[in-house]
């Protein structure tokens, strides 16, 4: 029985009662779609955690410029949350048994790839901002940030910090993307190719 036949059989059966252990099977499924869903849930968890950290820092830090920097990072993480949530929601709503399987998987694959590509491009603007905010936060521990920014040497140090941290952060993010999504997208692409070859 090929994948299309198995899929049609499941769709036709439309089981009215869950089989014992269905939740366990669903949660431990090795299907790449389930793995992608789990990866996006984990990503959203990290986003919420860091958003909470930035809210806390915005409240407790006394210097207005540092508060403003934390608010900017909060906005960035809202952007990340919305982007990842939309992608997760697209996967959940489109992964249905009553649709053409090949088309469904291709739609999920394309949307996920587009979302990750968009985030990679956005990161080129966001990482310098994050480095700046972190730089201000570090300065604020022992100094008045506004006063220190009056010196040219501070701006040179900031530019060097951005120049070093941006490519490093981008590289780390790409590696995390490969671990969190890459192999499952490769598996998904393999399934799509297998289905299309059977047509």
Phi, psi for 136 (deg, rounded to 5): -65, -40
Residue 24 has pLDDT above 80, yes or no: no
Tokens of 64: 């207005």
Q: Is residue 17 part of a domain?
A: no
Q: Is residue 112 part of a domain?
A: yes
171 pLDDT tier (thresholds 50, 70, 90): very high
Stretch 139-164: mean pLDDT:
93
Residue 21 has pLDDT above 90, yes or no: no
Q: What is the pLDDT of residue 28?
A: 43
Work out whether the CA dihedral 57, 138, 125, 147 comes out positive or negative: positive
Of 181 and 98, the structure prediction assigns the larger pLDDT to 181
Percent of the chain whose pLDDT exceeds 70: 82
Cβ neighbours, 10 Å, residue 74:
18
Q: How far apart are the first and last CA of the chain?
A: 14
Q: What is the pLDDT of residue 30?
A: 67
Q: Is residue 3 part of a domain?
A: no
Overall number of domains in the chain: 1
Residue 10 has pLDDT above 60, yes or no: no
The parent domain of residue 90 ranges over 30-197
Q: Is residue 78 part of a domain?
A: yes
| pTM assigned to the model | 0.76
197 pLDDT tier (thresholds 50, 70, 90): confident
Give CA separation, 64 vs 7, 95, 148, 176, in Å: 58, 46, 14, 33
Q: Is residue 8 part of a domain?
A: no
CB 99 within 8 A of CB 189: no
Tokens of 198: 């059977």
Q: Is residue 104 part of a domain?
A: yes
Q: Is residue 129 part of a domain?
A: yes
Q: Is residue 145 part of a domain?
A: yes
Q: What is the pLDDT of residue 12?
A: 52
């Amino acid at each position: 029985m090929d994948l299309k036949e198995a899929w049609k059989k499941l769709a036709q059966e439309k089981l009215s009662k869950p089989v014992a252990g269905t939740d366990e099977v669903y949660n431990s499924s090795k299907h790449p779609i389930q793995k992608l869903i789990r990866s996006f849930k984990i990503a959203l968890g990290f986003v919420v955690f860091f958003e909470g950290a930035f809210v806390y820092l915005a409240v407790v830090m006394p210097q207005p410029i540092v508060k403003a920097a934390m608010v900017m990072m909060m906005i960035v993480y809202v952007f990340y949350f919305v982007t990842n949530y939309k992608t997760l929601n697209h996967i959940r709503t489109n992964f249905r048994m009553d649709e053409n399987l090949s088309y469904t998987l291709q739609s999920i694959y394309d949307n996920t790839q587009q979302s990750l590509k968009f985030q990679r491009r956005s990161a080129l603007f966001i990482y310098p901002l994050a480095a700046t905010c972190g730089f201000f936060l570090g300065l604020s521990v022992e100094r008045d940030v506004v006063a220190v920014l009056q010196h040219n040497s501070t701006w040179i140090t900031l530019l060097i910090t951005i120049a070093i941290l941006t490519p490093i952060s981008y590289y780390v993010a790409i590696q995390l993307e490969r671990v969190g999504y890459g192999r499952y997208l490769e598996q998904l692409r393999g399934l799509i190719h297998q289905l299309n070859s059977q047509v």
